[in-house]
């Protein structure tokens, strides 16, 4: 699989649409999400089922929580699932 930064805009859009559909398929009905994807923090993109202005507010709130350590640190990186 190509790195995110190696994809063109159409490839990135396709990837994000697949992520959104997969996320919606496993989330409870009515749940909201915003996923940030990046490779080495050089190419960051997001996909969400929220309005852009709402995503910005949520991302700011999460960043504040992370800085205060109000959100538990993630567990060690999980192995990738391959089909």
Does the pTM of the predicted model rise above 0.75?
A: no
Residue 62 forms part of a structural domain: yes
Residue 13 forms part of a structural domain: yes
Placement of tokens 């995110």 in the chain: 4
Residue 37 forms part of a structural domain: yes
Q: What's the domain count of the chain?
A: 1
Kindly tell me the sign of the dihedral angle through the C-alpha atoms of 31, 13, 4, 11: positive
Residue 73 forms part of a structural domain: no
Collapsing DSSP to helix, strand or coil, 19 comes out as helix
Residue 54 forms part of a structural domain: yes
Residue 77 forms part of a structural domain: no
- Give the span between the Cα atoms of 76 and 80, in whole angstroms: 12
- Report mean pLDDT in 10-residue bins for the chain, 83 residues: 84 93 94 89 85 94 88 69 55
- Domain extent, residue 15, equals 4-68
């Amino acid at each position: 699989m190509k790195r995110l930064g190696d994809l063109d805009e159409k490839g990135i859009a396709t990837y994000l649409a697949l992520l959104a559909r997969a996320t919606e398929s496993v989330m409870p009905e009515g749940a909201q999400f915003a996923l940030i994807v990046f490779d080495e923090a050089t190419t960051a993109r997001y996909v969400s089922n929220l309005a852009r202005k709402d995503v910005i507010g949520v991302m700011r709130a999460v960043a504040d929580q992370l800085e205060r350590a109000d959100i538990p640190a993630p567990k060690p990186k999980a192995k990738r699932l391959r089909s």
